[in-house]
Amino acid sequence: MTLEVLPVEGMPEIGAGTDLGAAIIEATTERGPELRDRDVLVVTQKIVSKAEDAMVDVDPDDHVSHKPIVERESVRILRRRGDLIISETKHGFVCANAGIDLSNVVRGRAALLPDDPDRSARRIRDQILGRLGVEVGVVVSDTFGRPWRRGVTDVAIGCAGIAAVVDLRGTTDALGRELMVTEVCVVDEIAAAADLVMGKASGIPVAVVRGLAAAWFRTGSVADEVIRSPAEDLFR
Amino acid sequence: MTLEVLPVEGMPEIGAGTDLGAAIIEATTERGPELRDRDVLVVTQKIVSKAEDAMVDVDPDDHVSHKPIVERESVRILRRRGDLIISETKHGFVCANAGIDLSNVVRGRAALLPDDPDRSARRIRDQILGRLGVEVGVVVSDTFGRPWRRGVTDVAIGCAGIAAVVDLRGTTDALGRELMVTEVCVVDEIAAAADLVMGKASGIPVAVVRGLAAAWFRTGSVADEVIRSPAEDLFR
């Protein structure tokens, strides 16, 4: 029942057109960890966006030059304060600056969110299945703030091969009572666990989470399972 | 650099007055994992509240009997919908039903949040240091929902011996650029990682997270580091 989180070291610098699945296969084959069925690969949004060339030009000397881009990438603005915009992206994510990221990117360029992060995850999963015959789950992670609590944490913006939300409704607790709060967002917990080994500046953009419950491995999608519709949401 | 998350099995049923530190020492000594310096023990709120007798009576046949208790335990109500109240507790946590929990509790009783979860964590840490001479971090975890995203995740409501928020401001990323988003709430990520092995119904209320960065081990407090003041908060 032990869970392990293993960094994937030695990933190459990723640019437009890099075959990300191939790069992960090469790094894990050469340096480990050797991928196994039911491993979950957590891949940061940054390298997915770079590989998919979801990048735009920004003026590196103008600290608000990304603002028109944020507005363009948003379908709804929730709050503004100073340079900060909290908005909803076309995917349905609510986050700061529409998820646009200037760190770990070449000066003068900013990384947008991938067009369809579930599809990005699926591609990597299919490639590993096709080339290695190993059935992994894949989570694309990003770093989001949240209301009420300080500090950022990593969450999932895409997934494949692993359930995003596990529904424990109807199961009973250790005392035989029916559980009340029971839909657990396991992909966010997986992204958070992976971030503990990735660090923020150490250049580890991929990690393997090993030892998750077998029942959680199935078709999954952040877009369908995690995003709360505005009608259900008390804070939008 | 591998991170491990190890369940602590065989914890006894916890009741009012149970010496929680002693119970953890006994379970880990008898069945493992043997505690080491810089392990972080994650302990669920539920058993902390039970041990501290932070419990109240509720009418088990009246599904809204907990509502007056929620109001009493709240300093501010943010939203109401049906039976659900989103409120701010005296600690500063914003969560559903003031964190009051009916699951895994004897019928007719509900568990409140501990009075001071940082103190609860400190007590367990001090006891392990005193009896075993081992310097661990301790996180008290609870299961919270959040706006915009479906599913609950575990977060930290108290900690000791481990920083709650790690400040990476001023460090540079792999390309030498100064990082922009840099305060990481590592205790929430640790609580999330631990939940992946605890499950919701399997009766594992304690886990050990092993392999965290040495620099993160220092005096920590969720109350001081994680709770965002209303003045800083865009959603209160």
- Lookup: tokens for B4: 């491990």
Q: Any idea what the Cα angle at residue B43 is, between residues B38 and B48, rounded to 5°?
A: 135
CATH code for A55-113? 3.90.1660.10
Q: What is the pLDDT of residues A118-138, one digit of tens each?
A: 999 999 999 999 999 999 999
Task: Say which of B152, B226, B234 has its CB closest to residue A184.
Answer: B152
Q: Is A23 helix (H, G, I), strand (E, B) or coil?
A: helix
* Mean local confidence (pLDDT), A24-51: 97
CATH classification for the domain delimited by A4-53+115-230, as one of 3.30.1330.100, 3.30.70.3270, 3.40.50.2000, 3.40.50.300: 3.30.1330.100
Q: How confident is the model at residue A26 (pLDDT cuts 50, 70, 90)?
A: very high
Q: What is the pLDDT of residue A83?
A: 81
Beta carbons of B206 and B5 less than 8 angstroms apart: no
Please identify among residues 25-54 of chain A the ones whose CB lies closer than 8 Å to any CB of chain B: none
For chain B, percent of residues with pLDDT exceeding 90: 76
What is the spatial distance between Cα B184 and Cα A154, in angstroms, rounded to a whole number?
Answer: 9
β-pair partners for B85: B80
Q: What is the pLDDT of residue B140?
A: 98
**What is the Cα B154 distance to its own chain's centre?**
7
**pTM of the complete model beyond 0.80:** yes
Interface with chain B: mutation pick from A149, A168, A179, highest number of B CBs within 10 Å: A149
Contacts of A106 in chain B (CB under 8 A): 175
Task: Say which of A189, A196, A200 has its CB closest to residue B182.
Answer: A200
* Mean local confidence (pLDDT), A207-232: 93
Q: Is A131 helix (H, G, I), strand (E, B) or coil?
A: helix
Parallel/antiparallel/unpaired status of strands B206-210 and B3-7: antiparallel
Dihedral sign for Cα atoms in the order A32, A33, A38, A40:
negative
pLDDT above 90 for A167: no
Q: What is the pLDDT of residue A175?
A: 61
Residue B223, chain A, CB below 8 Å: the answer is no
Q: What is the pLDDT of residue B217?
A: 96
Parallel/antiparallel/unpaired status of strands B94-96 and B84-89: antiparallel
Q: What is the pLDDT of residue B150?
A: 95
What 8-state DSSP symbol labels residue A114?
P
Half-sphere exposure of B167 toward its Cβ, with a 13 Å CA cutoff? 6
Contacts of A93 in chain B (CB under 8 A): 148
Q: What is the pLDDT of residue A107?
A: 81
- Lookup: tokens for A111: 């990384």
Closest by CA position to A47, among listed A73, A74, A23? A23
Closest by CA position to B176, among listed A157, A79, A169, A104? A104
What residue ranges in chain B does DSSP mark as E strands?
Answer: 3-7, 40-44, 55-57, 74-81, 84-89, 94-96, 109-111, 137-144, 153-160, 166-167, 183-184, 206-210
Calculate the average pLDDT of chain A.
Answer: 91
For residue A3, the chain B residue with the least C-alpha distance is B5
Dihedral sign for Cα atoms in the order B229, B156, B143, A95:
positive
Closest by CA position to A143, among listed B182, B62, B101, B178? B182
Q: What is the pLDDT of residue B62?
A: 78
Q: What are the angstrom distances between the C-alpha of A70 and each of A87, A88, A126, B59?
A: 8, 10, 32, 50
What is the spatial distance between Cα A185 and Cα B220, in angstroms, rounded to a whole number?
Answer: 26
Task: Say which of B103, B173, B185 has its CB closest to residue A180.
Answer: B103
Q: What is the pLDDT of residue B172?
A: 65
A186-198 and B186-198 helices, crossing angle to 10°: 130
Q: What is the pLDDT of residues A71-110, one digit of tens each?
A: 999 999 999 988 889 999 999 999 999 999 877 677 888 9
Token pair 């990933």: residue: A11
Closest by CA position to A119, among listed A48, A182, A40, A202? A48
Cβ neighbours for A26, distance < 8 A, ≥ 6 positions apart: none
Domain boundaries, chain B: 4-52+115-227, 55-113
What is the spatial distance between Cα A229 and Cα B37, in angstroms, rounded to a whole number?
Answer: 45
| Residues composing chain A | 236
| Number of CB atoms found within 10 A of residue A63's CB | 12
Q: What is the pLDDT of residue B201?
A: 55
Q: What is the pLDDT of residues B56-78, one digit of tens each?
A: 998 877 777 788 999 999 999 99
Q: What is the pLDDT of residue B199?
A: 74
Q: What is the pLDDT of residue A234?
A: 85
Q: What is the pLDDT of residues B75-93, one digit of tens each?
A: 999 999 888 899 999 999 9
* Mean local confidence (pLDDT), A149-171: 90
Q: What is the pLDDT of residue B171?
A: 61
pLDDT above 90 for A181: no
| Number of CB atoms found within 10 A of residue B57's CB | 10
Q: Is B27 helix (H, G, I), strand (E, B) or coil?
A: helix
What is the spatial distance between Cα A171 and Cα B201, in angstroms, rounded to a whole number?
Answer: 8
Q: What is the pLDDT of residue A173?
A: 62
Residue A58, chain B, CB below 8 Å: the answer is no
Q: What is the pLDDT of residue B101?
A: 84
Token pair 């609950």: residue: B152
For chain B, list residues with pLDDT below 70: 104, 169-181, 200-201
What is the spatial distance between Cα B60 and Cα A180, in angstroms, rounded to a whole number?
Answer: 13
* Mean local confidence (pLDDT), A175-186: 72
What is the spatial distance between Cα B204 and Cα A142, in angstroms, rounded to a whole number?
Answer: 29
Token pair 């995203």: residue: B149
What residue ranges in A20-105 does DSSP mark as E strands?
Answer: 40-44, 55-57, 74-81, 84-89, 94-96
Task: Say which of B4, B201, B203 has its CB closest to residue A179.
Answer: B201
Could you give the strand order of the β-sheet that contains A94-96, starting from the edge strand earlier in sequence? A74-81, A84-89, A94-96
What is the spatial distance between Cα B149 and Cα A154, in angstroms, rounded to a whole number?
Answer: 13
CATH classification for the domain delimited by B4-52+115-227, as one of 3.20.20.70, 3.90.1580.10, 3.30.1330.100, 3.30.1490.20: 3.30.1330.100
What is the spatial distance between Cα A103 and Cα A99, in angstroms, rounded to a whole number?
Answer: 12
Beta carbons of B147 and A147 less than 8 angstroms apart: yes
Half-sphere exposure of B164 toward its Cβ, with a 13 Å CA cutoff? 24
Residue B128, chain A, CB below 8 Å: the answer is no
